[in-house]
């Protein structure tokens, strides 16, 4: 019995050692194929550069557009804080009643501040900026109403909250009309959402194009190595073993294309940074273009590697079965 237990323990140790050796050999082969895939790119620099450029441009177009849409949304988010609600009051409202109404409006939870513009102030401002001062002087009375300009609190700067606040203030008996500066912002947000959805659709189409580009490149590589593949199959190599170097080859194409796309997006943002900063300064803003960032850059690179791997897998799965030793 002790001898049987010793034999069993010795067999278990040998089994674990064999598994470790096989796993080490498996990892070694992956490292070798990874290095070999990079070496194949270096052996044909011109063809590799052309393929990488095509992949990079295909990936840079949606990535750059998404960055611009993201910047536009961030700008519109800062504009929400500048949203104003204007209450045009009914005619013949006395100055004391106007001040009482302003004090009442200031008590609302969604109101941060109230600016009072009397009817005479409205007339003076209109005469100054419109150029119709002589015409208005012919009128017997002031046709312009008093206005309360309201700045919503931070919690009420979103389009929905500002609209609810405007409806609540518009129900006051002294109010004739309500104008909200945030309406145009809602339209802008809707247009940006449509643009964002369109860019995602284009990104999917260009991702399919990247898969096809890598697949066609790997297909040519398979044809060039047809004899080598036939010999490997004669020696008993499995499809997984033969497929592995082509998958790493496609992944290297994807990584190089992702780096190229990242550089193109960065270059485009650098070219646009100066004019955008100048335009922002004309509006008194300190806005600056933001790039992909760490998360966006990693997403771009990981996606490009995955697309290269997928394109290679499709090509190998389709053409490897057709190659059999004769």
pLDDT (tens digit per residue) in 286-320: 777 788 888 888 999 999 999 999 988 888 887 77
Instruction: Check if the beta carbon of residue 249 is closer than 8 Å to that of residue 218.
Output: yes
Q: Indicate if 100 and 58 belong to the same structural domain.
A: no
Of 135, 154, 180, at which residue does a domain stop? Answer: 180
Q: Which residue has the tokens 């498996």?
A: 26
Identify whether 63 is part of a domain: yes
Identify whether 34 is part of a domain: yes
Q: Indicate if 137 and 72 belong to the same structural domain.
A: no
Whether the per-residue pLDDT at 80 is higher than 70: the answer is no
Query: How much is the pLDDT for 43?
Result: 78
Q: Indicate if 224 and 253 belong to the same structural domain.
A: yes
d(CA 60, CA 259): 10
Burial bucket for residue 54 (CB in 10 Å: 0-12, 13-18, 19+): middle
Query: How much is the pLDDT for 304?
Result: 92
Closest CA to 166 of 225, 97, 110, 245: 110
Whether the per-residue pLDDT at 42 is higher than 90: the answer is no
Closest CA to 93 of 113, 122, 114: 122
Q: Indicate if 62 and 125 belong to the same structural domain.
A: no
d(CA 169, CA 175): 8
Instruction: Check if the beta carbon of residue 210 is closer than 8 Å to that of residue 58.
Output: yes
Backbone angles phi, psi at 237, to 5 degrees: -70, 140
Identify whether 91 is part of a domain: yes
Q: Indicate if 108 and 165 belong to the same structural domain.
A: yes
Query: How much is the pLDDT for 183?
Result: 67
d(CA 8, CA 2): 10
Q: Indicate if 152 and 207 belong to the same structural domain.
A: no
Query: How much is the pLDDT for 64?
Result: 87
Q: How many domains does the chain have?
A: 2
Whether the per-residue pLDDT at 13 is higher than 70: the answer is no
Identify whether 131 is part of a domain: yes
Beta bridge partner(s), residue 85: 150, 180
DSSP 8-state symbol, 115: E
Instruction: Check if the beta carbon of residue 148 is closer than 8 Å to that of residue 116.
Output: yes
Q: Indicate if 173 and 193 belong to the same structural domain.
A: no
Predicted confidence band at 78 (pLDDT cuts at 50, 70, 90)?
low
| Tokens at 89, concatenated | 């009051």
- For residue 99, the enclosing domain spans 83-180
Return mean pLDDT, the chain: 78
Instruction: Check if the beta carbon of residue 262 is closer than 8 Å to that of residue 300.
Output: yes
pTM exceeds cut of 0.85: no
Report how far apart, in Å, the C-alpha atoms of 21 and of each of 27, 28, 176, 243, 297 are: 10, 10, 86, 22, 37
Backbone angles phi, psi at 88, to 5 degrees: -90, 120
Closest CA to 223 of 130, 150, 319: 319
Instruction: Check if the beta carbon of residue 86 is closer than 8 Å to that of residue 150.
Output: yes
| Tokens at 156, concatenated | 């009420």
The answer to which of 85-99, 191-205, 230-244 has the lowest mean pLDDT is: 230-244
Residue of higher predicted confidence among 283 and 226: 226
DSSP 8-state symbol, 108: S
Identify whether 10 is part of a domain: no
Q: Indicate if 199 and 294 belong to the same structural domain.
A: yes
Of 162, 180, 198, at which residue does a domain stop? Answer: 180
Identify whether 111 is part of a domain: yes
Of 180, 202, 232, at which residue does a domain stop? Answer: 180
Q: Indicate if 35 and 158 belong to the same structural domain.
A: no
Give the CATH number, domain containing residue 113.
3.30.70.3040
Q: Indicate if 198 and 125 belong to the same structural domain.
A: no
Cα dihedral 114, 120, 121, 122 sign: positive
The H-or-E segment that residue 112 falls in is strand 111-117
Coil, helix or strand for 138? coil
Identify whether 325 is part of a domain: no
Report how far apart, in Å, the C-alpha atoms of 153 and of each of 18, 179, 187 are: 70, 17, 21
Q: Indicate if 158 and 261 belong to the same structural domain.
A: no
d(CA 225, CA 227): 6
Identify whether 254 is part of a domain: yes
Q: Indicate if 92 and 214 belong to the same structural domain.
A: no
């Amino acid at each position: 019995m002790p001898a049987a237990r010793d034999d069993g323990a010795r067999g278990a140790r040998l089994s674990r050692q064999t598994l470790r050796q096989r796993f080490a050999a498996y990892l070694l082969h992956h490292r070798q194929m990874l290095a070999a895939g990079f070496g194949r790119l270096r052996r044909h620099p011109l063809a590799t550069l052309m393929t990488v450029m095509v992949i990079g441009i295909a990936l840079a177009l949606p990535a750059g557009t998404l960055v611009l849409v993201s910047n536009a949304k961030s700008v519109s988010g800062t504009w929400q804080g500048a949203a104003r609600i204007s209450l045009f009051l009914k005619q013949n409202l006395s100055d004391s009643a106007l001040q009482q109404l302003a004090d009442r409006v200031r008590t609302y939870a969604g109101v941060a501040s109230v600016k009072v513009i009397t009817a005479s102030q409205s007339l003076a401002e209109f005469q100054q900026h419109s150029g119709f001062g002589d015409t208005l002087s012919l009128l017997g009375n002031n046709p312009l109403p008093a206005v309360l300009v309201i700045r919503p609190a931070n919690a009420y700067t979103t389009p929905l909250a500002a609209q609810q606040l405007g409806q609540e203030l518009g129900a006051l008996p002294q109010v004739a009309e309500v104008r909200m500066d945030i309406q145009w912002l809602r339209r802008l947000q809707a247009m940006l959402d449509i643009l964002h959805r369109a860019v995602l659709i284009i990104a999917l189409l260009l991702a399919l194009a990247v898969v096809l580009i890598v697949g066609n490149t790997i297909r040519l590589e398979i044809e060039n190595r047809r004899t080598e593949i036939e010999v490997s199959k004669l020696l008993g190599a499995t499809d997984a073993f033969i497929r592995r170097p082509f998958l790493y080859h496609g992944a290297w194409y994807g990584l190089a294309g992702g780096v190229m796309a990242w550089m193109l997006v960065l270059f485009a943002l650098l070219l646009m940074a100066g004019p955008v900063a100048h335009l922002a300064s004309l509006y008194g803003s300190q806005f600056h273009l933001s790039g992909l960032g760490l998360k966006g850059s990693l997403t771009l690179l990981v996606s490009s590697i995955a697309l290269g791997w997928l394109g290679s897998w499709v090509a190998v799965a389709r053409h490897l079965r057709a190659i059999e030793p004769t």
